[in-house]
Chains A and B, each alone.
Chain A
Amino acid sequence: TVGAVACDTQGHVAAATSTGGVTGKRWGRIGDTPVIGAGTFADDRACAVSCTGSGEFFLRVGVGHEIAARVRLSGESLQVAADAVLAEVKALGGTGGVIVAGPNGDMAWGFNTIGMYRGTASSAGSRTVAIYANE
């Protein structure tokens, strides 16, 4: 699974996610990636979210919408909301990660696996590319 979230110079956010799913999936199994509000979500009132991981758990929690709702309704930061919702996923037995972008230029990511392919860039010139948790 791959994904991107962004905030443009007008303060609008967007999210996109794409995947081949899980090796050996059968019976037409679909994970969270294409489900708006689970693996992919964007709302200028809150943030944009793209997810990767054991899709069934991201579906049950409604991860994308849940992170955005916590930001919008309780004023949580992107990182606090992302960490809290990932903890729910983990508590149900799921593993994976999220990337988040806010309309004010904030960025966040979180993952409860030992690694996530990830990267960031910004108009401030910051740029990261990483794979392992300890990077």
Chain B
Amino acid sequence: MTWTLVIHGGAGKLDSEMVSPEQDAGARAGLSRALDAGSKVLADGGSALDAVEAAVRVLEDDPHFNSGRGAVFTHDGTLELDAAIMDGRTRAAGAVAAATATRNPVGLARAILDDGRHVFLAGKGADAFSRDRGLPQADADWFATDERRRQFAEFQADGGGFDVDMKYG
């Protein structure tokens, strides 16, 4: 039987002038590691659900992408992380919005899916659920990177306008 895996690390104003050679190489390496992680699960006969979680965890830990470590800053200089996961077999789903302290937000979404009572948790409640489940926590220093701090400073210098396209992400 065959298996397939597709991943993304975000879309936007990405062209070779705007993407530094370091970002280009770093992002390609990160995508490759995510493919390795998901492919290993699938090649071993694992589920699509475990494979997509494994691939996204790699991308969340990689500072080249806007999620988890490397996430962009909010208007107030904080970090609010969103994630979701869904199983096509059962249509079970787990989602989290505005989580602030779970190292891998997709792992929190998966815990919500596995718990099964709810689909979508947000904010402080989601953070409490994560702690109750003993998920690995991380502080803002883990998530924040110098590059995102620089972009946030640039954003503020530009007057902090809400530019959904200039996402820096």
Residues of chain A whose beta carbon lies under 8 Å from any beta carbon of chain B? 1-26, 28, 30-31, 33-36, 39-44, 47-48, 50, 52-56, 95-97, 99-101, 103, 105-109, 111, 113-124, 127, 129, 131-132
Digitize B38-64: 1 where CB-to-A-CB distance is under 8 Å, 0 elsewhere: 110011011111011101100110000
A2 to B7, CA, bound (A): 8
B11 touches A18 (CB 8 A): no
- Count, chain B residues at interface, CB 8 A: 89
Chain A contact residues, majority secondary structure: strand
Task: Given A8-B48, A12-B89, answer yes or no on A109-B169 (Cβ-Cβ < 8 Å).
Answer: no
CB-defined contacts of A13 to chain B, threshold 8 Å:
48, 88-89
The 8 Å CB contact of B53, one of A16, A100, A118, is A16
Task: Given A1-B66, A18-B59, answer yes or no on A42-B6 (Cβ-Cβ < 8 Å).
Answer: no
User: Counting CB contacts under 8 A, is B155 at the interface?
Assistant: yes
CB-defined contacts of A7 to chain B, threshold 8 Å:
2-4, 48
CB-defined contacts of B39 to chain A, threshold 8 Å:
121
B83 touches A19 (CB 8 A): yes
Task: Given A12-B89, A14-B49, A14-B52, answer yes or no on A19-B67 (Cβ-Cβ < 8 Å).
Answer: yes
A25 touches B52 (CB 8 A): no
The 8 Å CB contact of A23, one of B27, B48, B88, B151, is B151
Residue ID in chain B nearest A119 by CB atoms: B31
CB-defined contacts of B35 to chain A, threshold 8 Å:
119-121, 127, 129
User: Counting CB contacts under 8 A, is B101 at the interface?
Assistant: no
B162 touches A3 (CB 8 A): no
Task: Given A16-B84, A24-B162, A44-B89, answer yes or no on A4-B56 (Cβ-Cβ < 8 Å).
Answer: yes
B59 touches A23 (CB 8 A): no
A34 to B19, CA, bound (A): 27
User: Counting CB contacts under 8 A, is B15 at the interface?
Assistant: yes
Digitize B99-121: 1 where CB-to-A-CB distance is under 8 Å, 0 elsewhere: 00000011001000000000110
